[in-house]
Chains A and B, each alone.
Chain A
Amino acid sequence: MEQHISLIEHLQAELSLLREALIHHQAEMAEAAGETAAVASSGGGSLGLTLFVFALAIFLGVELITKVPSQLHTPLMSGSNAISGITIVGALLAMQNVTGPAAILLGLLAVITATVNVVGGYLVTDRMLGMFKTKKKEEA
């Protein structure tokens, strides 16, 4: 009889250990799931998805440019150069929750140089294309 009692006690103890482990495991699972959801909802998406977007954009770029007449090569180049100033978005994000003089300096330099690229690039392209356009008006 005593033997039986001690066996039951022993089993009960093991059961509670198991239960604890299970609860612990569930918590871990929930935590992991939460993290995954957080990554997914942070707007970035997974690396695989961004690589996919990258590959599609490359093909799209090739398709868009292949048929451009040589007369427009210069404005096309300076216009697409202005688009590469999109790195300004990265520069601005570098200025979010920024701490320390080194990071501020780098972020500031990034914002300045990216803005030069964007503003200068679009204005100079517009100036060039403006010359093309006035001529067309005269013809019309």
Chain B
Amino acid sequence: MQEFVYIIASVLFIIGLKRLGSAATARQGNMLSACGMGLAVVATLVGTGFSWIWILLGITIGSAIGAVAAKKVPMTGMPEMVALFNGSGGIASLFVGWASQVNPPGGQLTVAEAIPLYLAVVIGGVTFTGSMIAYLKLSEKIDGKPVQFKGQQIISIALLGALLAGGLLFTFNFAGIWILLAVLLSFAFGVMVVIPIGGADMPVVIALLNSYSGLAACAAGFIISNTVLIVAGALVGASGLILTGIMCKAMNRSLSNVLFSGFGSASGGGAGKDVEGEAKPISADDTYYILESASSVVFVPGYGMAVAQAQHAVKELAALLEENGCEVSFAIHPVAGRMPGHMNVLLAEADVPYEQLVEPDDVNPNMAATDVAIVIGANDVVNPAARTDETSPLWGMPIINVDLAKTCIVLKRSLRPGYAGVENPLFFCENTRMLLGDAKASVQALVTAFKE
């Protein structure tokens, strides 16, 4: 009976994931998958010998934390929230593995249980500290720049070697000391894996950690040979890997390049050609005149829009432009922001119509005919060096070609380089004007100008 319910739960997860893939059915898909989770929990609790007090206590505390965090988080804080939830799932698998060592499910461990047990602890531990570092970087509690030092990769390899050796020893005597060691080593390894990765590469890291948390759950499933854990964990593991691949492709880089190159640090390869020329600032009033006479405008949002919380002001400006008879679209680069799809979530929150959100491939062919491209807090994803400068670290990355628009207006706090630390020749282009200052204040000034 229990197995039967587990099968239904697995099917609900599969249909749920499938439905998450299209806007019209996504919410329903999420609910189906939540129902699957509920069924799996209920089916598990049909049995005897449960310590109900502890279970109720745990579920109450966990639900309270999860619900409050989910309701309170602002949409701009979504990447770090996802990182926290992900870390929480990772460490849960670590605890499940550890508890199975202390109190083996069959009374006595076997090698076939010990291997996934060790894997659940290690992958769970790496997911946990990796996600925590990602959280700290995303919430800017620590510097988002890649941290690199001499011998870093040697330390990582040594940690990995020690984890392998510990795992081998654990399969001989199943002693708790190896698990304790694995917890500490995997925590250290998780930190080492994520600190060399810069803030701009966080979409890749988050997708990858998401995959890990699935694999950790899968390993936990092998300990107790529970099919629903294995199926759900494998689904998440695979989907996370696919998403990781999509993100890497959007940056024209391999996964190993993202993980090991320390992109954007001082030592991270060639810094590209020095850019010559002078950036031309523009006032909000002059920008208004340009926009007022424009018949097509493309907005290119980036992380700066999220930081400035400018999405509502941007939506208002877009609506005013449309009233003025102008064609408006939002060109969204897959890695804009700090999380896959980050910009889409923010603009959806501001009620920007779905069909106005377009991908780079759809907007680039028409760019030369576009009157104005407005770049709001995006940098690397519009850097023409990716197309023109072979020595640039960004070379080959698909970008949004805003430099080809008739006029390009860049909203930016200052002339500093972007997250990747690469100079942006766009700022010095003939047709580029810089509207310096806080993005939200700048957009609001434009909105006011339109209303007057």
- Residues in chain A within 8 A of chain B (CB atoms): 43-45, 47, 50, 53-54, 57-62, 64-100, 102-104, 106-136, 138-139
Total residue contacts A-B, CB cutoff 8 A: 390
B58 contacts chain A at the CB level, 8 A cutoff: yes
Measured CB to CB, the nearest residue on chain B to A128 is B345
| Contact yes or no, B235 A83, CB < 8 A | yes
B378 contacts chain A at the CB level, 8 A cutoff: no
Taking CB atoms, residues of chain A closer than 8 Å to B348 are: 128, 131-132, 135
Measured CA separation A100–B104 after assembly (Å): 12
Main secondary structure on A side of the interface with B:
helix
| Contact yes or no, B237 A61, CB < 8 A | yes
B8 contacts chain A at the CB level, 8 A cutoff: no
Main secondary structure on B side of the interface with A:
helix
| Contact yes or no, A106 B95, CB < 8 A | yes
* Contacting residue for B33 out of A60, A82, A99, A135, CB 8 A: A82
B218 to chain A, nearest CB (A): 7
| Interface magnitude class on chain B | 35 or more
* Contact bitstring B55-67, A, C-beta under 8 A = 1, else 0: 1011101110111
Measured CA separation A138–B351 after assembly (Å): 10
| Contact yes or no, B243 A93, CB < 8 A | no
Measured CA separation A134–B33 after assembly (Å): 21
Known: A94-B95, A108-B54. 5 other contacts (CB 8 A): A43-B2, A61-B237, A74-B82, A78-B78, A111-B58
- Residues in chain B within 8 A of chain A (CB atoms): 2-3, 13-14, 16-18, 20-24, 26-27, 29-31, 33-34, 37, 40-41, 44-45, 47, 49-51, 54-55, 57-59, 61-63, 65-67, 69-71, 73, 75, 78, 81-82, 85-86, 88-89, 91-93, 95-96, 98-100, 102-103, 105, 112, 206-207, 210, 213-214, 216-218, 220-243, 246, 332, 334, 339-342, 344-345, 348-349, 351-354, 357, 359
6 nearest interchain CB pairs?
A: A115-B62, A61-B238, A111-B58, A44-B225, A120-B66, A73-B341
